[in-house]
Amino acid sequence: MKNLERILALYRDDARTGKINTSLDDASPARLQLSGMAGAQECFVLAGTYLAHPRPQLYIATDKEEAAYLQNTLANLLEKKPVLFFPDSFKRPLYFEQLNHTNVLERTETINKISSAGGSPEVIISYPEALFEKVVAPEVLEGTRIEIASGEMMDIDFIIEMLIEYGFEREDFVYEPGQFSIRGAIVDIFSYGNDYPYRIELFDEDVESIRTFDPLTQLSVQNIARVSIVPNINTKFSREQKVSLLKVLPPGTVVWVQDFSMLVDKLQICFEKAEEFTKTIALLEESELAGFFRDRAFIRPHEVIEEVQKYPLISMGPAPSAILPGEWRPAMRFKTRSQPSFNKNFSLLIHNLSGNATAGIENFIFADNPKQIERFHHIFEDLSEDGGQPRAKFEPVMKAIHQGFVDEELKIACYTDHQIFQRHHHYHLRRGFTADKAMSLKMLRELKSGDFVVHIDHGVGQYSGLEKITVNGHTQESVRIFYKNNDVLYVSINSLHKISKFTGKDGTVPTLSKLGSDAWQNLKRKTKKKIKDIAKELIRLYALRKASQGFGFSPDNYLQTELEASFIYEDTPDQEKATIDVKEDMMKMHPMDRLICGDVGFGKTEVAIRGAFKAVLDGKQVAVLVPTTILALQHFKTFSERLAAFNLKIDYVNRFRSTKERKEIFDNLKEGKIDIIIGTHGLLNKEVKFKDLGLLVVDEEQKFGVAAKEKLRNFKVNVDTLTLTATPIPRTLQFSLMAARDLSIIRTPPPNRQPIHTEIRVFNEALIKDAIYKEVQRGGQVFFVHNRVKTLPGIMALLQRLCPDVDIAMAHGQMESNKLETTLLDFIEKRFDVLACTNIIETGLDIPNANTMILNNAHQFGLSDLHQLRGRIGRSNKKAYCYLFCPPMSVLTTDARKRLRTIEEFSDLGSGFEIAMRDLDIRGAGNLLGGEQSGFIADIGYETFQRILEEAIQELKETDFKEVFKEELAKRKAFVKDVQIDTDTEMHIPDDYVSSVSERLNLYSRIDQIETQEALLQLGGELKDRFGDVPASILELFEGLKLRWAARNLGFERIVLKSKKLQCYFVENPQSPYYDSAVFEQIFQLIGSQGTKWGMSLKKAPRSLIMVKEKVHSLKAALEVLVAIEQKLAPRVESIDKA
């Protein structure tokens, strides 16, 4: 960070900074005017002024967005100093109906820090709408803080009483402000005055330690000495005295105002809006906001002017003499210009940097991603070698600023990477720590009594809770499952991995299996046979492709780098990996067949564009195959826009092109005059000839018909093929599918996309009208989703009545396909402003200009449908709005309320992908392998289907295709996939250690799935952190897990330790390759030669061979026996300590 420190030192020691500080000290109060600044320079000037003379600073920006950019830039510049953001309290400025609890938390934190003694002077960034709201007077807040310090005494009953009085709620686990929990000697509290909740550990009544912890992982972050617990100032003090923020600032705070006249105008607009709103809620005495407004929680514009005059003032615009009469210092002018626009022309950039250097101006490029700096170096290097350009010199700064500038007096040019590449740069504000992000995933996985579950060996049953059982006088806990005819199965917590929650198609209710019947095993066998038949063909094609000769593309050149660097969003790690995978495959000598899977808007098309460009650079043609006419046009536009700078010939064919146009396109293709052709399945026809086809890109292959898929198969054998799909592939399926396809998964959404503002509302005509006009006036379009074809015309009439001057179209699945396609294309072409439609828009539509969605009867949609529908908007740099209309929350079912709350909280594009896509996972498996097997899922459940698929593919690798997978099979060490442990030792999580049943089950499940010593130690640390010292009965569970690992390494399928007798069962299947392995041979020899000495013998049972050892007193002792055997074997058997 030396370069940044150097720039800040220049501003700190600059004569202009000295002059500002001197002027601020001379007059009382001082009034300065600064002008001529450009880009983010005002942040550098403020930072320099602050570093030269540390004192509190308040910067009032013109609006929230500008304030957020300034706060981000200043926080990056002053990274070790506090830069606070002071927002308004609402979800949208001037929309007073809904409080934003994250904003309330930030306001509380700011007031708390201002009113607390000590610490560095703060820099606060705010804007008119936030200043308009009054705050609780510091003296009121002062008397309500609970101070707790490490080493002091704490009366837990008193603390509970105080917290309840302050409106805190007691929960099992703390995940949002205003909650507390008590688990033995551990107290967790989430105060309203801090980023993180606190964990206080007691020894009797002494505070032994205080730690902050992450509410999502529940793990401690850092130790602290003292905490202040602050209640929610908006609700606790709704009737207390409130004052302007300007009244609570420390004396001598320097107030910077971006534009005084705009500040006054905005405060006036705020006041009028608040007056209007107060009238509308006058009747709502019980409303959360009624008291808030009754107390006149807002400041009048003239009061702000009166208050602001008491502080030293710096105006960044014209001197506001009319508003603030009095003596203003003569304007101090800065000689600065904005960063030039290079339009991604790197020759221009190099020329500019060289010109700066000649003029004695030092060049700095700011980027928060080191890869961007690497890209600059590569591009400059290539251009200086290939294009004879002078070598450009610059100093990198690994921080983001919102706009670049050239300061001619300090002789520095500070450029931003995002402006050079014309990328969108978005600010980051604090996101709420809400329950839903952490809890929804748990909610879906969590088993509730009555839920259907599948046991891999016994079939479908109904979960009925945990039950303590006694085995030879020792307590254990087991899972109780009911089967047909009320039969009960108790499943040991050592075998939890055999149970999964039943997930069927569309919420199917399954038939309960009968215990002891062969029906379940027969169903599994039948399913496996059918899956094998399907998978066999896929693996055969995979093997054929790997064996055939293809074209090896050249490594990247600077044009490829330039294209990739010009992507307007920053690559996610997944996207970057997918790009590398594709390019590496293309450079190999056998044809590529890679599948890229990612949610809508995650950047799959961008990866395809990069692959296509690579092919064209080597003189090859590219065909992009899409399932619909609309998608052909959308891809044509996307490819054309992205590759516009490179002079390629791109065209498309669909049924809207005339016969003459199609003939001309096909002739050009044959002659090699078209580089990239985009079209529907017609591109696969025999009459379509390419001069030199190098890459085939297939979008949503599963949507093509059988005939088109067959033609595709023939294409793929000798042409590089890239397939894109938005249907998610679950993590558990990815590895098994690797046998049939090369796979790249893009799981993370692009950074810097603005979260979609989502509100749950009751149907409201005024809001509909307001939302539509607001979107149309900014040049955007609106989706109104109403999922009833019968009443859709009525909705259309309502919209036309509310917005008579807006163009509205209607679309639903029962329209003729031609008419539907034409309507959607017209909407894409912006011939309509509003589309009233059913959920037909759920997939495949990409309309970046549509950024408002109104979803009627949102409570009738499933979580994944809501996620998919909302994914249609927020696909550009514009702020997107989604309104979920439903009846009042009080009349909805609990599930519907949870769904809506979850989607409201998941405001990011793609956030909650794992959750919302849960039901799509089921379709995903079917679509990927062909639809034939989707019927099995209804019978055996999705998780069991996955397991059988994995087994089937592994068996095919070991039998029919062992030559193809020879290398992979040679690396395999474990001959046993699963080990059953039966024991009579005391192993369970005590109720008084973890009282919540669902959390105990969750922990049992996590312990059961751990595969490494490191992960086990981590979990042990987590339990100590969250619940206190780990009891012996849990440590015994850990020993059982290690025993399972050791048994698996040695090839034991079952371990029984009862009445101090250890029995280890070898692999049951006599045909298993295990019996030909060196491992079995060495164990057999060891027991034969040293069995008597070790007290071990071999015993033959009806279905298996058993190794027996007497006088084994504990699981730890059993583990020592197996580890001793391992150590005697050749090094090829991996030690349990390393497992």
Half-sphere exposure in the Cβ direction for 1008 (13 Å, CA): 24
- Nearest alpha-carbon partner for 768 in 787, 789, 805, 795: 795
Q: What backbone phi and psi angles, to 5 degrees, belong to 951?
A: -60, -45
Residue 472 — left, alpha, or beta (φ > 0 → left; ψ -120 to 50 → alpha)? Answer: left
Angle at the Cα of 507 from the Cα atoms of 173 and 518, rounded to 5 degrees: 105
The DSSP string of 48-87 is HHHHHS---EEEE-SSHHHHHHHHHHHHHHTTTS-EEE--
- Cβ(259)–Cβ(323) below 8 Å: no
- Nearest alpha-carbon partner for 946 in 384, 283, 500, 292: 500
Each residue's pLDDT tens digit, 1035-1082: 999 999 999 999 998 999 999 999 999 999 999 888 787 888 888 888
- The pair of structure tokens assigned to 471 is 């085995």
281: three-class secondary structure by DSSP:
coil
Each residue's pLDDT tens digit, 798-808: 999 999 999 99
User: What single DSSP character describes residue 518?
Assistant: S
User: What single DSSP character describes residue 390?
Assistant: P
Distance between CA 18 and CA 11 in Å, rounded? 9
Q: What domains are defined for the chain?
A: 2-138+242-333 (3.40.50.300), 146-229 (3.30.2060.10), 336-420 (no CATH), 435-533+932-969 (2.40.10.170), 535-746 (3.40.50.300), 757-907 (3.40.50.300), 980-1138 (3.90.1150.50)
- Look at residue 14 in the predicted model and tell me its pLDDT: 94
Each residue's pLDDT tens digit, 132-158: 988 877 777 776 778 899 999 988 888
Distance between CA 452 and CA 1118 in Å, rounded? 35
977: three-class secondary structure by DSSP:
coil
Using CB atoms within 10 Å of the CB of residue 343, give its burial: 0 to 12 exposed, 13 to 18 middle, 19+ buried: exposed
- Cβ(1003)–Cβ(1033) below 8 Å: no
- pLDDT above 90 covers a percentage of the chain that reads 35
Whether residue 578 has pLDDT greater than 90: yes
pLDDT band at 1139 (very low <50, low <70, confident <90, very high): very low
Helix (H) or strand (E) holding 469: strand 459-471
Distance between CA 1136 and CA 1123 in Å, rounded? 7
Distance between CA 609 and CA 149 in Å, rounded? 58
- Look at residue 671 in the predicted model and tell me its pLDDT: 94
> CA torsion angle for 283, 288, 294, 299 (degrees, to 10)?
-130
pLDDT band at 926 (very low <50, low <70, confident <90, very high): very low
887 to 518, 794, 854, 870: CA distances (angstroms): 49, 19, 14, 19
Average pLDDT taken over every residue of the chain: 83
Strands (E), 838-973: 850-855, 881-885
- The pair of structure tokens assigned to 261 is 């006249």
Distance between CA 632 and CA 642 in Å, rounded? 15
> CA torsion angle for 290, 296, 300, 304 (degrees, to 10)?
-110
- The pair of structure tokens assigned to 719 is 């042409």
Distance between CA 1025 and CA 1020 in Å, rounded? 9
What is the side-by-side strand order in the sheet with 220-224?
169-170, 179-183, 186-190, 198-203, 206-213, 220-224
- Cβ(34)–Cβ(314) below 8 Å: yes
Distance between CA 989 and CA 292 in Å, rounded? 47
323 against 470, higher pLDDT: 470
Amino acid at 919: D
Q: What backbone phi and psi angles, to 5 degrees, belong to 627?
A: -80, -20
- Cβ(463)–Cβ(496) below 8 Å: no
Pairing relationship of beta strands 242-243 and 135-136 according to DSSP bridges: antiparallel
Mapped to the 3 state alphabet, what secondary structure does 998-1031 carry?
Answer: HHHHHHHHHHHHCCCHHHHHHHHHHHHHHHCCCC
- Distance linking the first and last C-alpha atoms of the chain: 40
Stretch 306-334: mean pLDDT: 82
Residue-level length of the chain: 1139
- Look at residue 650 in the predicted model and tell me its pLDDT: 97
Crossing angle (nearest 10°) for helices 997-1009 and 1032-1050: 30
Strands (E), 381-445: 395-397, 405-407, 412-416
Each residue's pLDDT tens digit, 216-264: 788 888 899 988 887 776 666 556 677 889 988 988 899 999 988 889 8
* Dihedral angle sign, alpha carbons of residues 951, 956, 958, 962: negative
Distance of CA 292 to the CA centre of its chain: 35
pLDDT band at 922 (very low <50, low <70, confident <90, very high): very low
492 against 704, higher pLDDT: 492
Cis before 751 (ω within 30): no
pLDDT band at 885 (very low <50, low <70, confident <90, very high): very high
- The pair of structure tokens assigned to 1100 is 């033959």
Helix (H) or strand (E) holding 652: strand 650-653
Distance between CA 586 and CA 821 in Å, rounded? 35
- The pair of structure tokens assigned to 762 is 């009751």
For the beta carbon of residue 688, count every other beta carbon within 10 angstroms. Answer: 18
- Look at residue 275 in the predicted model and tell me its pLDDT: 77
- The pair of structure tokens assigned to 759 is 């509100």
- The pair of structure tokens assigned to 1136 is 């349990």
Each residue's pLDDT tens digit, 338-350: 999 987 788 889 9
Q: If you average pLDDT over each of 13-27, 215-229, 488-502, 794-808, which comes out highest?
A: 794-808
For the beta carbon of residue 148, count every other beta carbon within 10 angstroms. Answer: 17
Distance between CA 128 and CA 67 in Å, rounded? 10
pLDDT band at 914 (very low <50, low <70, confident <90, very high): very low
Each residue's pLDDT tens digit, 411-420: 999 999 989 8
For the beta carbon of residue 445, count every other beta carbon within 10 angstroms. Answer: 15
822 to 659, 682, 831, 850, 1125: CA distances (angstroms): 19, 19, 11, 17, 73
Each residue's pLDDT tens digit, 969-988: 666 566 788 899 999 888 89
Stretch 176-188: mean pLDDT: 89
- The pair of structure tokens assigned to 757 is 């503002």
Distance between CA 624 and CA 634 in Å, rounded? 12
Tokens 């992000």, residue located: 437
Pairing relationship of beta strands 1105-1109 and 1096-1100 according to DSSP bridges: antiparallel
Whether residue 12 has pLDDT greater than 80: yes
Distance between CA 162 and CA 237 in Å, rounded? 15
- Cβ(323)–Cβ(264) below 8 Å: yes
- Nearest alpha-carbon partner for 415 in 379, 367, 360: 367
Please state which of the ranges 609-623, 643-657, 876-890 shows the lowest mean pLDDT.
876-890
Query: Where does 1051-1114 have alpha helices with state H?
Result: 1078-1094
- Nearest alpha-carbon partner for 527 in 922, 925, 937, 927: 937
- Cβ(916)–Cβ(864) below 8 Å: yes
- pTM reported for the whole predicted model: 0.67
- The pair of structure tokens assigned to 220 is 């401690």
